[in-house]
Amino acid sequence: MIKLLEIPAIQLEQRIKKELEENPILEEGEDEDYDNPEQDDQDDNSAEDREAEDFEGTGKEEEEVRDKNDNDNEEFSLEDYIEDDDIPNYRLSTNNYSDDDKRPEIPLSSSTNFHSHLESQLGMRSLTGKQEMLAEYILGNIDEDGYLRRKLESIVDDLAFTQNIITSELELYEILQIVQDFDPAGVGARDLQECLLLQLERKDQSDPSLVLARKIIKSHFLEFTRKHYNKIVKRLNITEDDLKGAIDEILKLNPKPGSSYSDAMQHTSQHIVPDFILDLKDGEFVLTLNSHNVPELRINRTYSEMIETYSHNKKKRSREDKDTINFVKQKLDSARWFIDAIIQRQNTLLLTMNAIIDYQREYFEEGDETRLRPMILKNIAEKTGLDISTISRVANSKYIQTHFGIFPLKSFFSEGLQSDSGEEVSTREIKNILADCIDKEDKRKPLTDEKLVLILKNRGYNIARRTVAKYREQLNIPVARLRKEL
C-alpha cells in the first residue's frame, strides 16, 4: 500500500495493468458499469449468464439452468478458503468523477522522427559505401538535441572494434562536415559554440550585425556567455548599439536544433496528469480523485466457481487438484490484498488532500498566493492523524487541478517567517516578492543580492543575504551579472 501511495495517477494505471496481467483472479470491469447500476448484479451472475447463453434451448430450459445454479450457490461453502460474501463485494471503482466529468482524448498530430529526417537527407548525397557507413554511424550518435556529444577519436575506436571499419579522425571529420550541412542548421555540432557558428554561417553575410555576431561567437564566446559586454565592446572597438544588434541576432538562433523534430509521442510523457480535481460550486469545495484512466477491478467469478467445484468433491481430490486450489487461493488472496490497497490508497489521498484544502482554504478560494499560509508536513500529519512519512508520500509527485490552474502538492508546503509586525508569512510569498523585484529591475543594472536584502528589509522582512541567494537559486534565477542586458 505504501508503494501504491507514492506513485501518481499515471503510474497507478500502469501498475494496475501489470497486476491484471499477472493475476488471473483480477478482472477489469466494463466501462458501462459506471453508468448502469444494474450491471453489478449482472456481473455477479456472469458465470451463470455465460452458461445460459451457451445453452441453445427454450426459455424454459434456460430458466432451469439458472435455477440449478442458484440452488448450487445456496449450498456452496468455501470453508477455510474464502467467505461467501467476499467475492461480490470486492469492487474497486467508486464515483470518483466530477458531475460534469467528460475529458475526451485529444488526438496527436504526427511528426517526422528527427533521425529519420537526417537519414533521408543522407540518401540525397553521392557517397561511397564506406562513407555512407561512416555517416550512418555518426547519425546514430547524434542525440535528440542535434549534438554529436562523442569525440571523433572514440568513434574511430568503436568502428574498429565493433564494425571492423578502419578509419581516421580526419576522414570522420570530412563526413561530419557533410552531416553538418544537413537541416536543421546546427545539427552535428559538438558543442554550443559550434552549433551557433553553423547557424550563423548559413545566414546573410552582408548583414553587419550577423558578421559581428559570428565574430563574437567565434573569438569572444567566453566573454559572451559570462555577459562581459564591456570587454567585448572594448576589444572589438564597437558601440553598444552594434553589440545589441549582434546579440539580438544570436538570440534568434536555436541552441537545440533537434528539438523542433522531436517525436510528438515523446511530448506526451511530459504532460501532467492531475491526481485530484477540485471544483468550487456554490462556494463549496468538491474534491474528487482523477480515476479517468484507472480501470474498475473485481474478483473473477470463474476461478471462484473452480474452487466451488473442487470443494464438492473432497474425497475425489488428487494431488494436482489440491495444488490447483492452493494456487487459486494464493492468487485470490493477492487480488483481495491489491484491491484493498487501492481502496486504502484512495481513502488516504482524499483524507490528506481535504486536510490541505481545509488548512489553505483562503488560498484555494481565490488562488491568491499571498494568502498561502506557512505549512509543513507536521501540520497535516496532526490534522489527519497520519504519520509524517505518509503525508510526505502523498505529497510526492502528485498534482491537483483547481479552477485557477494545476499545481504540485509540494508547492503548498513552505516554512514560515515572521515579519517586523509579528505576522507569520510563507517563504513562498518571499520568493514571489523576489521574483517580482527581479522581473521589474533595470536589466542594464540588475539588482544584486545585497540590494534585494535591502528591498525586503524595507518591506518588513529581515532576511540574510545567503537566504536571499538560496531563494533566488530555488527560483532558477541567475546572479545579477548574468541577468545583465543591453
Q: Model-level pTM?
A: 0.50
Quickly state the pLDDT bin for 96 (edges 50, 70, 90): very low
What pLDDT does 72 receive?
Answer: 44
Specify whether the backbone of 179 is left (phi greater than 0), alpha (psi in -120 to 50) or beta.
alpha
Least confident of 54-58, 296-300, 401-405, 434-438: 54-58
User: For the residues 107-127, what does the mean pLDDT come to?
Assistant: 74
Which set of grid coordinates corresponds to residue 439? 522581473
Over residues 286-333, the pLDDT tens digits come to: 998 887 667 778 877 777 676 666 666 655 556 666 777 777 778 888
Which set of grid coordinates corresponds to residue 425? 508569512
Q: How far apart are CA 430 and CA 176, in angstroms?
A: 50
Domains of the chain: 2-100+277-351 (no CATH), 114-261 (no CATH), 416-483 (1.10.10.60)
Which residues does residue 401 pair with via DSSP β-bridges, in sequence order?
277, 406
What pLDDT does 275 receive?
Answer: 87
Most confident of the ranges 31-35, 57-61, 100-104, 382-386 = 382-386
Is the confidence at residue 74, as pLDDT, over 80? no
Is the confidence at residue 17, as pLDDT, over 60? yes
Is the confidence at residue 466, as pLDDT, over 80? yes
